[in-house]
Structures are given as structure tokens and as C-alpha cells.
Amino acid sequence: MVSRKNGAKAADPPAGVKAKKKVKTLSRENLSLAWSTIRGRKGGFAAVLIAVAVGSAVITACGALLETGLSSGVPAERYHKAAVVVGGYQAMPVDGDSDPRLSERVRLPADTVAKVAAVKGVESAVADTSVRMTVLKKDSVLDGPPVYGHGWSASVLAPFTLRSGSQPQAADDVVLDSDLANRAGVGAGDTVTLVAGSKPESYHVSGVAEPGVSFDRQSAVFFTDDQAARLYDLPGKIDAVGVLAANGTDAGDLADRIKKAVPGVETYTGDDRSDVETLDVGQSRSFVIEVASAFGATMIMLVVIVVSGTLALQVQQRRRELALLRAVGATPRQVLRMIGGEAVLVGGIGAVLGALPGILLALLLHSVFTSAGVLPAGFSLEITPLPVLFAVLVCVLAARVGGWLAARRAAKVSAVEALGDVAVESKKLGWVRLTLGLLLVPGGLAVAVVLPIVLPGESAIEGAASSALLLVIAVGLLGPKLFGGIAALLGRRPGGVTRFLAIANSRARARRLSAATTPLIMGVTMASAQLFGATTLAATAQDQLVDGVIADHVVTSDSAGISPGLVDELRKVPGVRTVGPVARTSTILTWPDGDGIQYRISSAQGVDPAAVPDTMKLDVLRGDLSGLTGNTVALSRIVSGTVGADVGGTVEMHLGDGTVEKAKVVAVYENGLGFGDITLPHDVVIAHTTDHLDQWLMVNADPKADLSAALKPYPTLSVRDAEAVTVAPTDAGASGVSLMLNAVLLGYLAIAVVNTLVMATISRRGEFALLRLVGTRTSQVRSMMRQEAGIIALCAIAVGTIAALPSLIGMSYAIRHSVFPSIPPLMYLGIVIAAVAIAWPAVMLPARLALRPPAVEAISRPE
């Protein structure tokens, strides 16, 4: 025999003796063995199959939504006939990241039309401008989709065909699209009242035109080109260029040629043309991509955790079988490969089974998005095999990793120890697991307490929010210890026989029960952290707004907005002391971060600094708002800390239409959630918004001031109390969509909880039979299980709430310098009831099923 030491090689095997073939996890032999095991243990593997299938369905739905955002769109209406539409790039370019959308229209120089017309393959290039209009019917705003005014020359882009009357020829002539004319009850020769901004004007309906396609998202009014330019009031600018292609010219090739010949423009073809028609289409696309990506990543993490936990519980229930395999000579590697093969097979089958329900879930989410207004009507769902293939791959990998993690302990023990190990569940945790869990607890508490104190801006909020995740992971690692400890604590209170048995079982089976309870704890923690984090933000914003609006009255509009010129008229009204216009938009702040840049989309308001002291209280912390003129800006405390800019410093921002401005910070204020994180001079905001209109006017006046009389010529305007001012919009997206996605996420956790609890309970059939054989009544066993269900629910609620509290306290302190988050009692009661409603039936129903057979028959059945 030759030693391997000192680099010597082992002796070759004797002639005629074949080396043993290495069996791989995915080999035919191993998968065949794994399939035999699955067929023999259908009940145990069914739980794993359900966990994987549901996870696959949700990931498939997220993938379908992501692909919809990337590839789908809305059919063009006003630009239906245009082969190519040339417009500005409606996003801020960011290297290595998705480009954030701009909230206002990016306009083009008027000479772009001539440049586009000169490109080979262009039959004609038509300039288009859009002016937001309001149609009055008997002095009331006509309901329906938004109305846009255009020059008549742009009618060929749909195309529009006159159904009656003639094209506009005088300044007071208009042509209405047929649907708008029907809803307004007018025809050729009639008079219609239109409002651009706040001022109503009467127009002669010279004709009614029929569009080439149905208009579902907008209505059109056509003026003479000169009148449209006057209403547009932006000399030298246009919104877009519609391109009619020469015969035989491919739209894609033409778009490429235009982009090369005319630098600084963006070309749109196909459904992408609708992104230029109305800005909400592109914004919806961006929102869907962002939400689907974030939610999909969260679901992938949850699927890995839940599938791993379910496989771990399934492997624990097979300890006797695995111990016997080890005793008869199976090596640890063979055990690992066998369980790995089982995980791959079950994962693959479950992932495929979840694909069709995933597509149905995508259809449901798409409908919810559309109903909530997040997606415009006509934004079709894109379904291809890619999301299904991705979901299958992720779920199979999750099952494989989970199987490996679950099998490690079973494969490590020696053959002699294995048979002894099945008698009593081990209470010891691996030192790595125990150490990591113990370190995560102070780590989670530290990020919730320390980071909101030492870090500025959003870093403090995000740091505190991460505490919940760290503590949930710690709970998963320390679950057996926590569950056993709570059971021991409850055992100190005296009780009857069933209570004693329930406590004893909970302590003895702490490992299995904690594995089944961890998803429920995770659900309580995540629901509490997300819901109460949102309620804390909303309550803080509302409090800031209620305390901050000090104006006596607010002028609001039923149309697109208020004409800025109305401010001077109201200031002339006797008794009016101050009129403060407020325009709203959003900006993108950028700041350096290493070799790249960071950006933040922030809500912004444009105000008159002279009117602020009498109309709103921003709670200025540093600086002075009186200096808010020209290239200056005031920042909220949160944004100031996020971008690292204080009074006297400068920030770089992209205004709503993409204009880049470097502004000096003149003040930092507290009430950013209520009024907006960015406050700019009013004229700056108005100049860079799409419609150039104010959101509302804040008025400070004597009680005798007659504002209603002054506003009588403006039927779309009304005088209201200060409560009419609404909280500044945020980039969190539609609340209905957020709630829906959270419901899907928590629903998956609920399925995982039911899955594991049913599996853990039904596997105790032999135990229940043994208890009955030694004299325990069936009613006592049921009472014992009720006690155990109560312990599980209590443990989940208590531990889940405790895990969420540090995060909520830290977030509350970072948001409003208060350690008391906003927790609506009824909402918390709903979480408690949901936890009990999930845990109780998942324990009691399988327990009743397990108690149905006679005890002698039940104990003789194989596991």
C-alpha cells in the first residue's frame, strides 16, 4: 500500500476491478430512486409541491407583468396613421440603471419638423401641439376622458374625416371629434364653451370629424393652426412630429434614419407611439416595471425561505427512514443526493403546475392595475414563455438549495447515532445557526435604534425598515429556542392534563413546530411593518398638512388647473390680504456616489415666497424662505439629509420637463411629507410643467371678502376651506395596487403556514393513536390540540409583533422624531384575527381527520 503523504499517488486498482460509478444527483438512477420515494410518501411531498406551485404561480405573474411593462403598450389613437412619431426622451438617462420617467412633457424645437421632413423616406412631417381643454355643458364640466386641443393640420395623423360641416377657418371655429360632440350635445353650426386654463370662451362648431380609430383615452378639439399656437403659448416649441412614410418604407428603418439625422430626439413606432400622445402611458409602463421587479425579487426570496422550511420539516418527519438508511450502509453523500433528487423532481413538477395559475394571476393583477387607474385602458397583458421558464428555473433551484440545506443534518450523523437520534427530537442547534441567530438579534435592534439617530435622510428610514427583515431571519434561526422558551413560560401556570400535554408536546417538538410557525411569524411581522409603516407616513403627512395650512380659503379647479394670471385678479378683491399660488410637479435630484450617481424622485411645489408666511407653515429648521428666488431651492429635512446638502450648498436637479438646474439651498424645513420635499420659486415650476397651471390658490382674507363673486366668470373654479388641500403626492405608487400586492405576498405566506401546520399535524397520527390506547379520551386529544393551536397563534402574534416593533419605532423616529408609530387598533386587530384564522383550522382540521380511524388501525398504518 502506498501512502498519499508527501505527494505520493494511491496504488492503481487491481486489473479486472472496475472503479465504482459515481452517481450524480440528476442521474437517471438517483432520480428513479427519488421518484419511488415520492410515490411512497405522496402526503409528505404534497406540501412541498403546493409551496413550490404557488410560488411558481406568483413568480410567473410577476414575470408576465414585467414583460408587459417592457414590451406591451396601448394602441396609438391620435397618431394611428403616423408611421413614426418623433418626440423628446421622457426620462433621465442613468448609466447602469433604469432611467426614471419625467413627470412633464419634454418639448422639441419647432425647427425639428423641417429636419425630419428632409430625411429620406419621409413623405410628410407634421408638427403637433396639445393644449389641455375642458368642455362645459350647461356651466358644468363635461365628464369623460381628458380633452386636448390641436391645430387642424395635425388631424391627418389619426386621420380625421369630416362627418359634417367644414374645417376651422376663423379663430373662433372648432372641430370636435364625433364622440365628444355627441356627449356635449352639439353639432355643426352650434356653439360650445371651452375652457383653457380657467377662462371660458365660446366657439362656433364648424364641423364634426370622425377619427380613423376609436378614441378611448382622449377626446380631440381642433382649432386653426394660428389659434392653436396662441393657446399653446410656447413660441418656437412643439410637442411632437408625426411622420407619414413614403410608400414601401419600413417604419423601423425610417425611425433609425431619423434618429441618426436629427440628434437629440427620440423616435417611437408601434404601440410606443401612444407614449407621446399622453404621458400617463409611459409613466404606467415605468411603474409596472418597477413594481413587478421589486415584488418579484421579494417573492423569489420568500419562495426560497418557504420551500426550504417545508423541505426541512418534511425531512425531519422522515428521520426514522433516513436513520435506517444510514444504519444499513448509506453514505452521507448518498443521502444528500437522494434528497436532492427528490427536491428537484418535486420542485420541477410543482413549478410546471404553477405556470397556468400564474398566468391567471397575472390576468387578475392586470385587471386590478387597470381598475385602479395605474394602467390605462387598452394596455394589453404580454404573455410569452419566458416568465414561465424563469419561474420554473427559480423554483427548481430553490427546491434544490432547500433540499440540500434540509438534508445536511440527516446526512452528517453516523449510522449508530442515527438510530438513536430518532427516539427524541434533538433540542440542540448547530453552533453556526445559533451564533448567527444570536448576532442578528442585537444587529436588528441596532439598525432600528442607532441608524435613525446617526444617519440622515432616507438612510435612517431604510435602515430602520431593514430591522424587521433581520429579526425575522433571526427568528427563523432561533425558532426552536424561542418556541420552546415560550412553551416553558406558559407551562409555569398550572392547568389540567390536556394543558400539560400541550406544553410538553410543544417543548418536545419545538423544532418541528417552529418550522411550521416561522412563516406565520414572518407574515405577522411583514404585515405589521408594511401596513403600519405606511400608516405612520400617511398620518405624519396629514398632520403636517393640517397644521401647516394657515390660509383662510383655498381656490380649487374642476378642470386641469388654474391660470396663473388669476392671482392678480384675486389680489384686487377688497378684503383679500394674501394670495399664494401653488403649482405642483416632481423633480429628480442627483448627487455623486463613488464613480456613479444616485437619484431620487421627489414631489415639488412652486410657491410665491412673499405669500408663504400668511398661507402655509413649512416649519423651517434652517435658513430663510424669503430668499427663494431665481436658481434657489428649499429642501425638506429628509431630502436634505439624503442628498447631503444643507443651507448654502447646491443641488443638481432635473425639473419636470428634464431641464437641468443647479440650485442654491436657501432653507431646510420639516413638513416635506405634507407639502412636498422640494420647494421652488413659483415661476420656475410653472415654466417647466406641461399645462402651465396652478394646482390651487391659498387665500388669506377678511371674512367680508366676496371671493365667490370675483370667481363667478370662472365656472370651473370654486372657493373651499383649507381642508381642500391634499397631501403632496409620493412615488410610492397607487395605494390600491400596493395593498393588492401585499395581499398576494401575505396570501402566499398564509398558504405556506397552512401547508406546514397541516403536514406537521397529520404526521402525528401514530402519536394520537398511542395516547388513545393508553387511556386518553378523544375529546382530551382534541383539547390538547386546541391548546397547541393557541400556543402557535400566540407565539406567532407575540414574536411577530415584537420583531416588527423596533422597525416601526425607528421609522417613526426618523420620519417625525417620535418613537410612537401610528398603529390603528382595528388594523392590528385584523392582523391578530387573520393569524388565528390561519393557524387554528390548519391545526384542528387535520387533527380531527387523524383522530377518525380507530386507534389500533391508526397506529398500525405506515408513516
For 96-145, how does the pLDDT look when each residue is reduced to its tens digit (9 = 90+)? 777 889 999 999 999 999 999 999 999 999 999 999 999 999 888 999 89
Check residue 332 and give its pLDDT. 74
Per-residue pLDDT, averaged over 351-369, amounts to 88
Mean pLDDT of 440-453: 90
Predicted local distance difference test score (pLDDT) of residue 852: 84
**Segment 705-717 mean pLDDT:** 90
β-strands 173-177, 219-223 pairing: antiparallel
Average pLDDT over residues 432-458: 87
pLDDT in tens, 597-648: 889 999 999 999 999 999 999 999 999 999 999 999 999 999 999 999 999 9
| Residue 419 Cα distances to 40, 321, 355, 416, angstroms | 21, 9, 41, 6
Q: For residue 246, what pLDDT band results from cuts at 50, 70 and 90?
A: very high
What's the mean per-residue pLDDT of the chain?
85
Q: pLDDT confidence of 16, banded at 50, 70, 90?
A: very low
Q: Which of 164-173, 270-279, 498-507, 772-781 has the highest mean pLDDT?
A: 164-173
Per-residue pLDDT at 20: 45
Q: Identify whether the C-beta of residue 682 lies closer than 8 Å to the C-beta of residue 608.
A: yes
Round to whole Å and give the CA distance between 457 and 447: 14
Q: Is the dihedral of CA 33, 37, 39, 42 positive or negative?
A: negative
As beta bridge partners, residue 579 has 699
- Report the C-alpha gap between 836 and 842 in whole angstroms: 10
Q: Which residue has the cell 397520527?
A: 765
Residue 339 pLDDT more than 90?
no
- Would you call 742 helix, strand, or coil by DSSP? helix
pTM of the model: 0.83
First to last CA, the chain: 47
Question: Per-residue confidence at 10, pLDDT binned at 50, 70, 90?
Answer: very low
